[in-house]
Every structure is written in C-alpha cells, then in structure tokens.
Chain A
Amino acid sequence: MIHWIWGGMIIASTLYAAFTGQLEALNEAIFEGARQGVQVTMMLLAFIVFWLGILKVAEEAGLLQALAWMLRPLIRFLFPDIPRGHPAEGYILSNMSANFFGLGNAATPMGIKAMQALKTLSTRPERASRSMITLLAINTASITIVPSTVIAYRMAKNSANPAEIVVPALLASSVGTVAAILIDKFYQKRYGP
C-alpha cells in the first residue's frame, strides 16, 4: 500500500505540475524535501541519542520495570501479545507517559526503542505485528495534557489566553485515542495475528 501512495504522490504531482506549468516549483520541492529530511534527522539525532541514554539509566535503576508493574493492566489490555515482564512493556509505557506529559522530543526515541523490542518478539522481521500497529495508533492519536507547540504559536500571535485550548484539546485527543484503540481492535479481528 505504501508503495502506491509514495509512487502515486510523485507521479501525480509531476503530471499535475507539468499541466499547470509549475515544473520550476516542483524542481525546488524535490531538493527542499531532501534537505528537510536531513534537517529532521539531525534534530532526531540529538533527541534520540540523549533520551536513549537517559532511558538506559532509568532501566538499570529499575524504574521502567516499576512503571510496567504499576500500569500492567493497561499494557495487558492494549498489548495482549507481549509476554509478561518483557522489556517492551517499560518502553511502551515510557513512550505513552512522554506523550502525555508533553515531552514530545522524548516520545519518539522511546517509541522507537519500544518498536525495536517488539521486533524481537516478531517472527517475520519485515512485517508489522499487531502490537506494533497498536503502538503506532496510540502515537498518531497523541493524547497530551499540554500541546506546547500550539500554545507557543498562540502566544507568538498575541492570544489573550494562549492556554484556553488545553482542556478541549485534551478531551479531543482522548476521544481520538479511544477511537484509535477501538479501530485498531476492529482491524486486529479482521486481519488476525
């Protein structure tokens, strides 16, 4: 599916730009995209190296295991395929906590670490497992108490009350997360393990 989406975007954009005389803009867009890829990767490099270091300290201190122990019922409900006590539990919960508390740049490294742990449980290395898709669904819905980027933009544009959107946004992202989990469970039934 991703092949058709990726290929489709490139082919359709080229044809559309040729028809509307936008080929110059399209040329720029190609290298702009590649440059953005490098920029985002550099930003990720800083966050990932830093947070994976901190995560390792937390793990050796037994904190991830404590987190997994406290929230085990949640993990068992969302990720029934993970064996009890597997390190993936702690990584997934640290990813969810980081999202929730608005530590956006910590959520990605922890989510990747969780994906790596889930991969060790999978027998088919190039195929997304059920747990991987559940983790992805929870992350795209991104439940958070403080959408800090949006608040910063509102402040920059002189909002009288930049944080007034916090409660409705939290409610909306909660509804989105519950929906994501239900949609995921629905497809799990249709596709099987």
Chain B
Amino acid sequence: MNVLFYLSNAILPFLMALIISVALVRKVHVYDAFISGAKEGFDTVLSILPHLIGMLVAVQMFTKSGLLSWLIAQCAPFFTAIGVPVEVVPLALLRPVSGAASSAVMLSIFDAYGPDSFLGRLASIMQGSTDTTLYVLTVYFGAVGIRHYRYALKVGLLADLAGLVAAIVMTYLFFG
C-alpha cells in the first residue's frame, strides 16, 4: 500500500528529471525546448473551449432536468434481469456521459454500503476501468476540429459496454 503511494508520487518528478537529464547529455537547450513546446498549448486549449462548453451544457441539462434519471429507471429492470445490481445501474449508464456524475454515484454507494462492501468494490472497479467517452471524444476531436466522427462514437460506447461487463465479471471473480 505505502509502496504503491510512494511509487505514484515518485513517477512524475523522476520522469521529468530523466527526460531533462537525457536532453542535457544530448546538448539540447532544455529550457528553450520547454518554452517552445509549451507555447503551442495555449492555442490548443482555446480551440477546445467551445466544444467543452457546448457539450457540458447539454450534459447538465440532460441530468438536471431529471430526464436521465427517468431513462435510467426505465432501463433498470433489464439490467437487474441480467444480474447487474440495481444500485450500480446509474453508474454504468452515467460513466460514458459524465465522469463527475458517475463519481457522485460511486460516492453515494460508498456512503450507503461502505467502500469495502461488494457494491462498493463493484462501483470502484466500474469507475476505475473505463473513461468518459463523451469527454474524450469532445476534447480530442475538438482540439483538431474534426466534424465527421464517423463510427467513433459507436466504437467508444461499445468499448465502454465491454469494459463495464468485464468490471462486473472481475468483481464476481475476485470478491463474489
């Protein structure tokens, strides 16, 4: 446990130090290189901003209007029929749309059942093993001005589904 935390704290500064050491040995003007790379960042971020605002407004409206909860309630019987506990259904459906919202569901499961309960572990593994597809899509494609997503959303959502099913199976295998 402590080793894990030590490593996760060590990785960033050591990686930086390593990159800069190699660069200095190779006679790179490291500070100039850093600044010239960092400069590109500003324009990139500015091109993402409209995409993020547009998408997050829609997601907020979708969650705060109550429509999303209603849809989740409609889907719940189907999920319970295939063995998914009803408590994590909102997490599964929110995960690809909003990372903050699915985190909130995970925390409420921790509060109600404890992080070390079966449901707490299941929620942790579901949350930890996939990413927010809509966010990744918005940021990555927004940054380079892609308008035609083609089959990207389908691949992302099906991959999420596969990841969530795998998370449920792993939780039963390890803690069931």
Residues of A within 8 A of B (CB): 1-2, 5-6, 9-10, 12-14, 16-17, 20, 22, 25-26, 28-30, 32-34, 36-38, 40-41, 44-45, 48-63, 101-103, 108-109, 111-112, 115-116, 118-119, 124-128, 132-133, 135-137, 139-142, 144, 146-151, 153-154, 157-173, 175-177, 179-180, 183-184, 187, 190-191
Residue ID in chain A nearest B174 by CB atoms: A168
- A169 in contact with B64 (CB, 8 Å): no
Q: How many residues of B contact A (CB 8 A)?
A: 98
- A33 in contact with B61 (CB, 8 Å): yes
Task: Report the minimal beta-carbon distance from A192 to chain B, rounded to whole angstroms.
Answer: 10
Residue ID in chain B nearest A165 by CB atoms: B124
Whole-angstrom CA separation of A5 from B152 in the bound complex: 13
- B147 in contact with A127 (CB, 8 Å): yes
Known interface pairs A37-B57, A165-B125, A175-B166; A140-B28 also in contact (CB < 8 Å)? no
Task: Report the minimal beta-carbon distance from A173 to chain B, rounded to whole angstroms.
Answer: 4
Interface residues of B in 119-135 (CB under 8 A from A): 120-121, 124-125, 127-133
Cβ 8 A contact of A1, one of B37, B116, B153: B153
Whole-angstrom CA separation of A9 from B59 in the bound complex: 7
- A112 in contact with B140 (CB, 8 Å): yes
- B34 in contact with A54 (CB, 8 Å): yes
Contact partners of A154 in chain B: CB under 8 A: 110, 115, 120, 124
> Apart from A14-B61, A115-B143, A172-B125, what 13 extra A-B contacts exist at CB < 8 Å?
A22-B64, A26-B61, A26-B64, A54-B16, A60-B28, A132-B141, A133-B151, A153-B124, A154-B110, A165-B124, A179-B159, A180-B155, A187-B151
Tell me how many residue pairs across A and B have CB atoms closer than 8 Å.
Answer: 350
Residue ID in chain A nearest B148 by CB atoms: A127
Contact partners of A119 in chain B: CB under 8 A: 144, 146
Whole-angstrom CA separation of A133 from B41 in the bound complex: 22
Whole-angstrom CA separation of A121 from B117 in the bound complex: 49
B77 within 8 A of A: no
B106 within 8 A of A: yes
B4 within 8 A of A: yes
Whole-angstrom CA separation of A56 from B30 in the bound complex: 9
Cβ 8 A contact of B20, one of A55, A57, A153, A175: A57
Contact partners of B159 in chain A: CB under 8 A: 137, 140-141, 176-177, 179-180, 183-184
B52 within 8 A of A: yes
Residue ID in chain A nearest B152 by CB atoms: A133
B167 within 8 A of A: yes
